[in-house]
Amino acid sequence: MKRINLTSLALLTALSVCLSANAQTAATYTGKKGKLSETELQRWSHLDLAKDSVPGMSVDRAYAELLKGKKSVKVIVGIVDSGVDIDHEDLKSVVWTNKKEIAGNGIDDDKNGFIDDIHGWNFLGDAVHETLEMTRIVKKGDDGSAAYKSALAAYDEKNNKALKDKQQVDFLTATDKAIQTHLGKENYTIEDVNAIVTTDPDLTKSKMIMTRILTNGGPGFRDGIKEYADYVDGQLKYNLNKDFDGRKIVGDNVEDIKNTKYGNNTVYGPDKEESLHGTHVAGIIAQVRGNNIGGDGVADNVAIMAVRAVPDGDEYDKDIALAIRYAVDNGAKVINGSFGKSYSPHKQWVFDAIKYAEKKDVLFVHAAGNDGDNIDLPEHANYPNDSDDNTKEFASNVLTVGALNNQYGDSVIAPFSNYGTFNVDVFAPGDEIYATIPNNKYKYLQGTSMAAPNAAGVAVLIRSYYPKLSAKQVKQILMDSGTPLPADVVLGEKQDINVKSDKTSKSAKMVNAYNALLMAEKMSKK
């Protein structure tokens, strides 16, 4: 999927305004009033609702009260994503190493089909940008199918929106430039703008708009505009461009699942900066705890296996299927999949890979998606999933995760998060999550892409401290042990959908590490 820092989407919303020990129960909790402190914000997903009034996963409490002195086993977790900066200061000590492979000798020493796969595999080779799946379907031409008609309608809608967004970005850029020109300086404050006195109607309008932007976006507003401008540009240049062929550089046949000899072992890809998404996901799970740099990961005895299969655009079914199989075959017990798309021409390849993972007792944790939609509805499908008919699950090892924000109450489910009583299993922190990004940096990002690894981190904890429990059992623990959502919640981008919490997901709960470990302890003794 096209990955964008949803923080910049929040800014765009502001800009748009300018232009137009026992299991916990929800009934006893009061959310924290006002904004979190910087210290609280950096680790809010690890805090405890009862103690801190923040809807975190009680990770810190679990370590303090349940895990001290307990033995654990190392768990390999596959990060199927955009790549991982394995040289990052807060990740390099937890990166998986294939001990059966001799680095740099150009030989497939372990005979797994991949040469020199020391820390994972890069199924994308030197490819970075890609089209959306709907673009690829439309490009193939009208075959008379319902899928083509649906994809064409969705493509036209998305392309028209991107063109309008481009106009908006251009307008905002011009407005910013007008203020710069009037003030005679590139950087200005809200006080500078407020001090402008003019009878020029165009400048008056620019003043009004920039006042609101500075009020909502702060001094970093220009970075937000640029980030969104880059996103829109990427949509038009790559994602929605029917003439763009991002796959050519890879050199494989995407229509042949048996064609597996492609890619390379550079797991962060040709440009380390483009592995931002995957590096952040990896950090949420595995940043070294207690080293006083960056943040803390959820899991403390983990090895990160980087499997690059998600471009800046929609992933190919073939890559995802092979990536899952690679992770399984090389020892992963948990796989995180912070990706997704609305169309899946070869979904059976992925379904078969998920079933293969189930057979090998591997849990697949998947992000629910960021459209604020009910993904139980066919028109809002989010692939991959664990059902082909929205009636029966074909596998027991898939956990689909929606996102929470840090304000407990009826709006605790993040507005961007998808939901669904059949296709979403549970919710986890996904708003303003602080974690690693390439080149020894750290950043807040948000999305169900962040919620999935938070849940996956708890799954790793369970599999690490209670290794005899199966993937199916771990999934059930995460769903059953969670903290109940408030009785009434609001959903959707506009937060205008008011429902009972049992209409949000299968469990209507928020992942809670403390409760999960208590339940795992009991289950392990049966």
105-138 pLDDT tens trace: 999 999 999 999 999 999 999 999 999 999 999 9
C-alpha distances in Å from residue 21, one per residue of 48, 464, 483, 516, 518: 12, 20, 12, 11, 8
What six digits make up the tokens of 186?
Answer: 């590139």
pLDDT at 34: 78
d(CA 346, CA 355): 15
- pLDDT tier for residue 9 given thresholds of 50, 70 and 90: very low
Residue 424: pLDDT above 60? Answer: yes
What six digits make up the tokens of 508?
Answer: 């209507």
Average pLDDT of the segment spanning 253-268: 96
Average pLDDT of the segment spanning 291-319: 96
Average pLDDT over all residues of the chain? 93
pLDDT at 429: 98
Residue 28: pLDDT above 80? Answer: no
Q: Are 509 and 485 in contact (CB under 8 A)?
A: yes
Residue 14: pLDDT above 50? Answer: no
Phi, psi of 235 (to 5 degrees): -60, -50
**CA angle in degrees (0–180, nearest 5) for 493-498-499:** 115
What six digits make up the tokens of 294?
Answer: 């960056």
d(CA 504, CA 421): 6
pLDDT over 90 for what percent of the chain? Answer: 88
Q: Are 353 and 434 in contact (CB under 8 A)?
A: no
d(CA 303, CA 76): 5
Residue with structure tokens 């072992």? Answer: 265
Q: Return the exposure string of 86-117: e unless at least 16 CB atoms fall within 10 Å of the residue's CB, then b.
A: bebbbbeebbbebeebeeeeeeebeeeebebb
pLDDT at 243: 97
Q: Return the exposure string of 319-351: e unless at least 16 CB atoms fall within 10 Å of the residue's CB, then b.
A: bbbbbbbbbbebbbbbbbbbbbbbbbbbbebbb
DSSP one-letter string for 286-318: HSPTTSSSS---S-SSEEEEEEE---BSPPPHH
Q: pLDDT tens, 354-377?
A: 999 999 999 999 999 999 999 999
- Beta-bridge partner residues of 400: 366
Residue 20: pLDDT above 80? Answer: no
- The alpha carbon torsion through 271, 277, 281, 284 (nearest 10 deg) reads 100
Residues 6+ apart with CB under 8 A from 168: 15, 16, 19
Residue 447: pLDDT above 80? Answer: yes
Residue 22: pLDDT above 80? Answer: no
Residue 6: pLDDT above 70? Answer: no
C-alpha distances in Å from residue 413, one per residue of 278, 302, 305, 367: 23, 29, 30, 14
Q: Which amino acid is at 416?
A: F
Residue 148: pLDDT above 70? Answer: yes
Residue 414: pLDDT above 70? Answer: yes
Domains contained in the chain, CATH given = 38-130+253-524 (3.40.50.200), 146-239 (no CATH)
Among candidates 447, 433, 461, which has minimal Cα distance to 54?
A: 433
- pLDDT tier for residue 218 given thresholds of 50, 70 and 90: confident
